[in-house]
């Protein structure tokens, strides 16, 4: 399982647990919140950096999908 897969699995579990629909908009909001929390955490570890790279990639993909869906 990749870091991206782990992030997406966790995100889907959390969205469902808190009653949010699985929409691109909700995914993006969740991941951006996670990104902000990780940026506020001052620990610098290789593993965290690798997860942040995966997270940023997923955010970029979602932003691109949303731009295609909106006129």
CA 67 vs CA 37, 40, 41, 44, 46: distances in Å:
25, 28, 30, 33, 32
Q: Can you give the pLDDT at residue 44?
A: 84
Residue 33 burial class via C-beta count within 10 angstroms: exposed 0-12, middle 13-18, buried 19 and up: exposed
Task: Answer positive or negative: Cα dihedral of 48, 54, 58, 59.
Answer: positive
Tens-place pLDDT, residues 33-59: 999 998 898 888 999 899 999 999 999
Q: What is the pLDDT of residues 59-71, one digit of tens each?
A: 999 999 988 876 5
pLDDT of residue 15: 96
């Amino acid at each position: 399982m990749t870091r991206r897969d782990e992030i997406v699995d966790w995100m889907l579990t959390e969205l469902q647990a808190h009653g949010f629909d699985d929409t691109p908009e909700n995914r993006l909001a969740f991941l951006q919140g996670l990104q902000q929390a990780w940026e506020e955490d001052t620990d610098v570890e290789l593993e965290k950096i690798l997860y942040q790279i995966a997270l940023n990639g997923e955010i970029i993909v979602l932003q691109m999908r949303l731009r295609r869906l909106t006129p």
